[in-house]
Amino acid sequence: MTRFQMRSLHSIVMTLALLAAACGKKAAPKAAAAPPVVLGPENLAVAMRTTLQSGPTISGALAAEREADVRAEVGGSVVSVSAEQGQRVAAGTVLARIDDTAVRDQYLSARAAVRTAEENAGLARRNAERSGRLAAAGAVADRDLEQARASATNAAGMLADARARLATAEKQLAKTTIRAPFAGVVSERKATAGDVVQIGAQLFTVIDPSSLRLEASVPAGELGAIHVGSTVSFTVNGFAGQAFEGRIQRINPAVDPATGQVRIYVSIPNVKATLVSGLFAEGRVATDSRDALAVPVTAVDVRGTAPAVLRLRQSRVQRVTVATGLRDDVAERIEITSGLAAGDTVLLGSAQGLSDGTVVRVRKE
């Protein structure tokens, strides 16, 4: 065997030895899979069909359609108060009384003056009639007849004046009794027994809660989409989860030059007296409404060239391009016209930072 052949044989033996050693070793283990990301219900939303509405949003405070400040029409001391705040009253209910001593004296004097004037007028009328008969018989001069008739006319004028004074005194006397102007609820009481009030002093405020009004503003550019009679949907502080409706009753014909907005007045039926004056309301004039597949507005990522959502399918995150339609800013939902189906689960909040293909496990409450 030549030296070259011996070297070749040695190389083959070494190669076989290395292969045998490699076969004897175990295969290296694969890298461990990443654990799934745990998400809670607050990070998930389901695409579902619902009614979406669009239109200009409005906000404002509720006010009573009928509200009256009951003021003193005569001065004097408040003798008694018969109504308290929150008390329901009928039209004409006595709320308070003002001392009527001086006014009653004037009334009694005026009534006595009327009786005297009636007697004088009756006597003058009879004298005039008697003088007329005597003048017809030639028993009295024409001058005496004219004087009798003038006396009767003056007496009739004095009677009319006395009756007018009595009517004024009666009205003044009636004003010492403070009454409710209409059926409603006493919302404010400023009078207390013993107070000395002047003419014009506010004593009570009475409101009619059966019909409320919402005053709000809309941009002038939205005027073409609204009209008298348009439906207004709104929510009210203190009534979470409840929706209310009203209708535009009036639209101010002038634009506020400072804000570029127009005031609207929405009439709100409140037959059950559920709502109260002063509550803050937020809503929208419904100019478009449709039944559509929708997801929360926050689920749609609009930062790319096309809107997209992260959908959860078979425990994996999938980035899906979608087409959007009507947006409901009050319900905070947006229409999905393509890309999703009813029942699809989309990601919200911090879960929107997950990458495509991430394995997800949903935590059950």
For 286, other C-beta atoms within 10 Å of its C-beta total: 19
**Cβ-Cβ contacts under 8 Å for 31 (sequence gap 6 or more):** none
How confident is the model at residue 25, as a pLDDT?
47
In angstroms, rounded to a whole number, what is the distance separating the alpha carbons of residues 102 and 258? 53
pLDDT, tens digit, for every residue of 133-157? 888 887 778 788 788 889 889 999 9
- Low pLDDT (below 50) residues in the chain: 4-5, 9, 13, 24-28, 31
For 16, phi then psi, to 5°, come to -65, -35
How confident is the model at residue 307, as a pLDDT?
92
User: Mind listing the domains of the chain with CATH numbers?
Assistant: 39-54+290-362 (2.40.420.20), 57-63+207-288 (2.40.30.170), 68-99+179-205 (2.40.50.100), 101-174 (1.10.287)
For 209, other C-beta atoms within 10 Å of its C-beta total: 22
User: Which DSSP string corresponds to 34-102?
Assistant: PPPEEE-GGGEEE-EEEEEEES-EEEEEEEEEEEEEEE-SS-EEEEEE---TT-EE-TT-EEEEE--HH
In angstroms, rounded to a whole number, what is the distance separating the alpha carbons of residues 178 and 82? 10
How confident is the model at residue 28, as a pLDDT?
47
How confident is the model at residue 27, as a pLDDT?
46
